Amino acid sequence: MALLQIAEPGKSAAPHQRRIAVGIDLGTTNSLVAAVRSGVSEVLADEQGRFLLPSIVHYNEDGGVELGYNAAEKANQDPLNTIASAKRLMGKGFDEVAQMQAYELVSGPSQLAAFRTRAGDKTPLEIAAEILKSLVNRAEQSLGDEVNGAVITVPAYFDDTQRQATKDAATLAGINVLRLLNEPTAAAVAYGLDHQASGIHAIYDLGGGTFDISILNLSKGVFEVLATGGDTALGGDDFDLLIVQWIASQADYENLNVQQHRYVSAVAKAAKESLAEAATVNVELNEFGLQWQGELTRDQMNELIDPVIRRTLRACKKTLRDSGVDVSGIEQVVMVGGSTRVLSVRDQVGALFQSEPLVSIDPDRVVAMGAAIQADILIGNRPDSEMLLLDVLPLSLGIETVGGLSEKIIPRNTTLPVSRAQEFTTYQDGQVMMSIHVLQGEREMVQDCRSLAKFTLKDIPPAVAGAAKIRVAFQVDADGLLTVSAQELTTQKTTQVEVKPSFGLEEVEIRRMLQESFANAAEDAAARALREIQVDGQRLLDALDAAIAEDGKLLSESETLSLQTEMDALRVLVAGEQKTDLERAIAHLNKSSEAFAAARMNASIEVALTGKSIDSLE
């Protein structure tokens, strides 16, 4: 008979306390919340059993706020106070998006774009906070407990500013953010691809108004983003529009007014969604003065929307080229986003990647489900053995060095969190200040990168060029957010900045920057090499100018003349682009100034030795 085990009083293990953590897919069109229950990740429904929350916020007349489906109903009668797709403007400056004409946009706090509504000016961050709050409320209702933390997903190409804005939105909503996670990574996690040893996967995400394709490489438990691509203005809305045009031509409606157009769009969208299951669908118009009835078959629809699908395929091919991976190198392609329910999309994507796409998990829910799995691990509900997925830095971080070059301190795709430091030195004799310019991007030249922040390190003890040692440390937390500090090592004086970046780029621009960096790698390397030699040349000229000013008397007139002539020639070359000539001239001037350098050395030793006895030198 087995002995009963009796614990010492007070030492018995408390029943395991599960903490609640959720995964949130904060989408452009729809948002969702998921949680792991009894080991299974599931999306949580609202009281009416609906899983999606349309990412729409309506500010109504009595000062209240409506969300989701309720807000969507107001779009027609109160468009300016009904904000949809705010994610497109997340972390964007007013100047960048002023041309978006669907709303009245204004320049809000710190030049951020904001929507002018009857409830005041609302930044995309505040809109996102409303959506996040509503999702967390839903989770608390549904789980019957308080939510302790959340993993929120963001597109893989989101930069520091956009990630920061997302995190700020969560803070505003009172949510403890455990981690921001890339959307494609979350989808891969939902399929358990992170449990495989290694492999390259494609994540095809076609939503309502955006298309994203990501090539991920899994190795040593880390998903590295090999390339991202897509189109920020391509998605299910384009399918709807083509179907609207078809209906209008079938019904002989030439000019639909705004209200009629919205109505026909809704009908078209419903027809499209039905055709994922049915082979034909009845289309009926009977409102806003429209009367028509017809039939749309799946084949007809496929033909209508084919040009849009082909555009996504072209973007896939381009992104594959950027990633340097051949189609045969892709193990699996994961389907994400409501629009991948269209069967023709699945077929064509499968044909392109020469493999059956992964569709067993609902493409609307897959991102939120993956985020919930990560949230459950991060909050500590899983055994330690469970692998925690790490994310990577989306774009390289660096600082500007002399000559307008970007010195990369942390390369793109480095696993997060990370901290790296590098030592820099002064460029000029007696330099007491150094300005640190933090950059993000892949290109070699400063003007091709995004400027994140600038700050100045003061009170460097004056010394000869190259003597001071300044340590610049970059720290990126698990969410991809950056802190930079600089320290002068002899005085230990530290200057620290939290990088609150200037509002800069559109996603498309980030993609363009990435693509350009691949396309221009060779050109950039050449430009960098030239610039470095120009800096060397200038440094030599500055040093000689200073030496001649101080010790010119050690040179004969003809020596001075010949040195000056050579220096003038070098000055011309430093301003030009003839790299080999420049290198040759630097080497030559180094050689011809050797005697002068030696004479200066001797003179200074003589000065030092004058009047000293031999003894004192020992």
Active-site residue numbers? 25, 87, 183, 205
Does 236 engage in binding with Mg ion (CB under 5 A)? no
Burial of 597 (0-12, 13-18, 19+ CB in 10 A): middle
Q: Which partner in Mg ion, ligand ADP, none is near 210 (CB below 5 to 8 A by kind)?
A: ligand ADP
> What phi and psi, each to the nearest 5 degrees, are found at residue 147?
-85, 125
Nearest distance in Å: CB 240, ligand ADP: 7
In the bound state with ligand ADP, the residue whose beta carbon lies nearer, of 344 and 483, is 344
The CA distance from 352 to 341, in Å, is: 17
Task: Provide the strand spans (E) within 305-429.
Answer: 332-336, 397-401, 405-410, 418-424
The CA distance from 254 to 240, in Å, is: 17
For Mg ion, which stretch binds (CB under 5 A), given 19-27, 255-263, 315-323, 555-563?
19-27
Does 209 engage in binding with Mg ion (CB under 5 A)? no
Q: Which partner in Mg ion, ligand ADP, none is near 272 (CB below 5 to 8 A by kind)?
A: ligand ADP
Q: Which partner in Mg ion, ligand ADP, none is near 276 (CB below 5 to 8 A by kind)?
A: ligand ADP
Does 357 engage in binding with Mg ion (CB under 5 A)? no
The CA distance from 362 to 177, in Å, is: 25
**Torsion-angle region of 289 (φ positive above 0: left; ψ -120 to 50: alpha; else: beta):** left
Nearest distance in Å: CB 278, ligand ADP: 10
Q: Radius of gyration over alpha carbons of the chain, in Å?
A: 31
Residue for token pair 């489906």: 69
In the bound state with ligand ADP, the residue whose beta carbon lies nearer, of 316 and 453, is 316
In the bound state with ligand ADP, the residue whose beta carbon lies nearer, of 209 and 501, is 209
In the bound state with ligand ADP, the residue whose beta carbon lies nearer, of 246 and 596, is 246
Does 23 engage in binding with Mg ion (CB under 5 A)? no
For Mg ion, which stretch binds (CB under 5 A), given 14-22, 193-201, 203-211, 267-275?
203-211
In the bound state with ligand ADP, the residue whose beta carbon lies nearer, of 106 and 276, is 276
How many residues belong to the chain?
A: 618
Nearest distance in Å: CB 28, ligand ADP: 4
Does 27 engage in binding with Mg ion (CB under 5 A)? yes
Interface with Mg ion (CB under 5 A), residue from 91, 93, 124, 207: 207
The CA distance from 320 to 484, in Å, is: 34
Q: Which partner in Mg ion, ligand ADP, none is near 338 (CB below 5 to 8 A by kind)?
A: ligand ADP
Q: Which partner in Mg ion, ligand ADP, none is near 426 (CB below 5 to 8 A by kind)?
A: none
Nearest distance in Å: CB 243, ligand ADP: 11
Strands of the 450-457 sheet, one edge to the other: 405-410, 397-401, 434-440, 450-457
Is-contact 205 364, C-beta < 8 A?
Answer: no
Nearest distance in Å: CB 349, ligand ADP: 14
In the bound state with Mg ion, the residue whose beta carbon lies nearer, of 207 and 398, is 207
Residue nearest to Mg ion (CB): 27
Nearest distance in Å: CB 477, ligand ADP: 26
Q: Going by C-beta distance under 8 Å and a sequence separation of 6 or more, which residues neighbour residue 144? A: none
Residue numbers of the site for ligand ADP (CB under 6 A)? 27-30, 207-210, 235-237, 269, 272-273, 276, 337-339, 341-342, 364
Is-contact 308 211, C-beta < 8 A?
Answer: no
Burial of 142 (0-12, 13-18, 19+ CB in 10 A): middle
Q: Which of 155, 192, 206 lies closest to 343, judged by CA?
A: 206
Summary count for the chain: helices (H), strands (E): 16, 26
Describe the crossing of helices 507-519 and 521-551 by its angle, rounded to 10 degrees: 80
For Mg ion, which stretch binds (CB under 5 A), given 160-168, 205-213, 377-385, 492-500?
205-213
Q: Which partner in ligand ADP, Mg ion, none is near 339 (CB below 5 to 8 A by kind)?
A: ligand ADP
- CA torsion, ordered 456, 459, 460, 461, to nearest 10 deg: 170
The CA distance from 148 to 375, in Å, is: 10
Q: Which of 361, 358, 416 lies closest to 389, judged by CA?
A: 416
In the bound state with ligand ADP, the residue whose beta carbon lies nearer, of 32 and 452, is 32
Nearest distance in Å: CB 212, ligand ADP: 9
**Of 302-331, which residues contact Mg ion (CB under 5 A)?**
none
# of chain residues touching Mg ion (CB under 5 A): 2
SS3 content of the chain, % helix, strand, coil (to 5): 40, 25, 35
The CA distance from 424 to 460, in Å, is: 12
How far is residue 192 from each of residues 333, 346, 359, 391, measured CA to CA in Å?
13, 20, 13, 16
In the bound state with ligand ADP, the residue whose beta carbon lies nearer, of 214 and 517, is 214
For Mg ion, which stretch binds (CB under 5 A), given 27-35, 168-176, 307-315, 572-580?
27-35
- Reading the block at residue 444, the tokens are 């070699």
Q: Which partner in ligand ADP, Mg ion, none is near 341 (CB below 5 to 8 A by kind)?
A: ligand ADP
Nearest distance in Å: CB 27, ligand ADP: 3
The CA distance from 433 to 429, in Å, is: 11
- Reading the block at residue 362, the tokens are 């609902």
For Mg ion, which stretch binds (CB under 5 A), given 20-28, 227-235, 382-390, 438-446?
20-28
Q: Which partner in ligand ADP, Mg ion, none is near 370 (CB below 5 to 8 A by kind)?
A: none
Nearest distance in Å: CB 79, ligand ADP: 19
In the bound state with ligand ADP, the residue whose beta carbon lies nearer, of 133 and 269, is 269
Which residues are near Mg ion by CB under 5 A?
A: 27, 207
